[in-house]
Structure 1
């Protein structure tokens, strides 16, 4: 039996379980089938060369192990916070805190990057202003209730899947297809494949949103373990089809040099009419990712605030909308400021480092499960933990250094707070 702390039923800080299996799958898809597939293919191709598909396969294997570990833990601890809760309960308070810190900081950067992606596609000359407007609008949707967020995510996922399907079919049926371009791995290096996998992992990381919403999912012990692999499997099929079709018409060199790979693929396939459609699809995809990211970050903020690792006032739940309204407001404000003052360069690498650290702790937590708690096969968390660490440190050096520095800042803040708390307790024992 879990000893995870949760609000007692009926208290003001209780969230309501309103999401079923379709909602949970769609929220996971909305997080994964987003701007990542529009943005990560080109840098991954530059890193891996002809090993792009190998990098995609490696990212998928690590993502599968992470998803399996997360699903088993989420079924046991169906509370908001995801790996923040799992690490705290299985490994100790520090590791839970570090997971929450890595998630909140890394995903806040991702929110800003997604908002700026929306701005760059909708109105390139005013990208920052559009980004801030997008953050404000989606924060308002989240504030109005998680069911409204799930409904909007359904619409976004449908639009993006349609755009990706049209581009894929247009590419595969065009005269520009050359099967010799799928010459997999002939000039790839191990380091390049690993770096590409780390960059492509950015596009897979959204299934965590299902776990972080664990307190709002109906029958979480059954729903979450089913929703996570379904969402991941659909995303993998979509990504593979898109990557193969783009490679067939552009080749690895053309893909590596493309600023907007799907737009270039449409042009190469002779479907210029698709270019504005792809632009709209990319903007909508980024909106979907941003919506789900704000949901996940606000729920982890809620969980950390409940434990006083963040200001306890952020643990409040709106009496009518049943959402962590203060957490959503502060997350929206921070993301809006970041979107107004930063650019997206390096955001993918920085976010990937933080998320890989987050999942490393999830896999370490899953290792401690016993069979009665639904433990996965031992090899799953081993591969997941090893893969997360290897991919994290295979990322571009600036991303590694920045990510490590941010984790160190978080660990230092935790240690300082603990020393102050212990000192106070010694001076004023109960």
Structure 2
């Protein structure tokens, strides 16, 4: 097999597979964990915050689909930024995605362990690390196996959420809840709530990063639209159920869905929700690791990361070294970081990534356009606004890590010669 052939990925995924990967990433820990934090910020305007997050996500998704049809190869906005805006823009997008989503992988692993192991301590961290090791091995055995596993995890999570919605729609709360309070910070609170909820919508990026593995480019647009529409509808239903069932108690709840089940007289459903939350976290982690590995592959091909990471396994046709290296790094983060810090840091990288996505789509020629430029402008502005609403510590950490990446790329000629 030629060097070129050994570095190409197999085009095996259809629309259903791509939708499954995207939904598994979106319908992950966010649906179980994002609403209390968003309610604390947005209060009675929680659903407005959800609408803002969904609107920005739609703009980003349309931009991603438009670009992926023109450039159907691995890398997502790393590739799009390079082709449309130039190498530095592509690097910033790729760096933001890899670093941010690596932190997201750690957050998903820790969320899984939190639901699977109720007691805190090293047993929980060890469980999270073990989950990363197992799913790394699964990703190394091929993208179709990844999609099949993601489908099973998604079906179980969907069944748990459907049961929760049936309970809350068919039963009245045992005691009328106090309404959510009006946010003290007004519009800023709504935007912060939107920024927190946006974290849960970002799974469609994983569909774009699989562009080199779908059977036809048009599969990407169809898969992104189906996955995002489904996720928005589900999030809206869950958000309404939590608001009407828990009311003001939602903002202070750490296990909101389980508490809502108890509020309607069904505490027996709490363990089922715990299983669903753990399963959803595993599905999100599986899809996240697949996407980060393929962006790492694309950056290594262009020498923006060490070239040895560009290896593709000749048997399973997956980026083997990138996936293995990612697994090792995520295990380290799981053993060192806390969940809140991982999520805050991840959000900065994700929103910068999508800002460059919209800017790239905005600069495409008319012949490649699928949506009006105004949609791209709206998405770009939305990403930048949501970034500044994030906690100051997360923004400062993100700026520092982007600075490290820039310095590393400036030093690339030196380490390239050594390589």
Q: Flag whether TM exceeds 0.5 (same fold).
A: yes
Structure 1 177/309 Cα, relative in aligned 2: closer, same or farther at 3 Å? farther
C-alpha distance in 1, partners of 2:57/2:153?
23
Which residue of the other structure, out of 65, 86, 90, is the alignment partner of 2:84?
A: 90
Relative to structure 2, which stretch is displaced further, 124-133 or 136-145? 124-133
Which residue of the other structure, out of 353, 363, 367, is the alignment partner of 1:372?
A: 367
Structure 1 residues 157-168: aligned runs within 5 Å: 157-168=154-165
1:267 aligns with 2:262: yes
Question: Structure 1: any 5+ residue segments left out of the alignment?
Answer: 1-6, 425-430
Runs of 4 or more off by more than 3 Å in structure 1?
7-10, 177-188
Which residue of the other structure, out of 25, 32, 40, is the alignment partner of 2:26?
A: 32
C-alpha distance in 1, partners of 2:175/2:354?
38
Cα deviation digits, residues 156-186 of structure 1 (max 9, x gap): 1111111111111111221218999777968
1:416 aligns with 2:401: no
Shift of residue 349 of structure 1?
A: 2.0
C-alpha distance in 2, partners of 1:289/1:8?
34
C-alpha distance in 1, partners of 2:32/2:390?
19
C-alpha distance in 2, partners of 1:224/1:334?
29
1:343 aligns with 2:317: no
C-alpha distance in 2, partners of 1:8/1:94?
30
1:400 aligns with 2:395: yes
C-alpha distance in 1, partners of 2:360/2:276?
37
Whether contact under 8 Å (1:366, 1:375) holds in the other structure is no
Whether contact under 8 Å (2:175, 2:263) holds in the other structure is no
Whether contact under 8 Å (2:177, 2:245) holds in the other structure is no
Whether contact under 8 Å (1:28, 1:210) holds in the other structure is yes
1:152 aligns with 2:146: no
Structure 1 181/28 Cα, relative in aligned 2: closer, same or farther at 3 Å? farther
In the superposition, the TM-score normalised over structure 1's length comes to 0.93
Counterpart position of 2:95: 101
Whether contact under 8 Å (1:50, 1:183) holds in the other structure is yes
Shift of residue 124 of structure 1?
A: 3.1
Shift of residue 39 of structure 1?
A: 1.0
Aligned pairs, how many? 414
Structure 1 211/142 Cα, relative in aligned 2: closer, same or farther at 3 Å? same
1:203 aligns with 2:200: yes
Which residue of the other structure, out of 148, 172, 187, is the alignment partner of 2:169?
A: 172
Which residue of the other structure, out of 235, 240, 247, is the alignment partner of 1:239?
A: 235
Counterpart position of 1:427: none
Structure 1 55/333 Cα, relative in aligned 2: closer, same or farther at 3 Å? same
Counterpart position of 1:43: 37
Q: Secondary structure at the match of 1:270?
A: coil
Whether contact under 8 Å (2:180, 2:243) holds in the other structure is no
Structure 1 residues 49-68: aligned runs within 5 Å: 49-68=43-62
Cα deviation digits, residues 262-291 of structure 1 (max 9, x gap): 111111111111000000000000000100
Cα deviation digits, residues 317-376 of structure 1 (max 9, x gap): 111101011111000111111112221022222111110000000000000112211342
C-alpha distance in 2, partners of 1:178/1:393?
39
User: What CA RMSD, in Å, does the superposition of the two structures yield over aligned residues?
Assistant: 2.0
C-alpha distance in 2, partners of 1:316/1:9?
10
1:357 aligns with 2:341: no
C-alpha distance in 2, partners of 1:177/1:47?
26
In the superposition, the TM-score normalised over structure 2's length comes to 0.95
Shift of residue 226 of structure 1?
A: 0.9
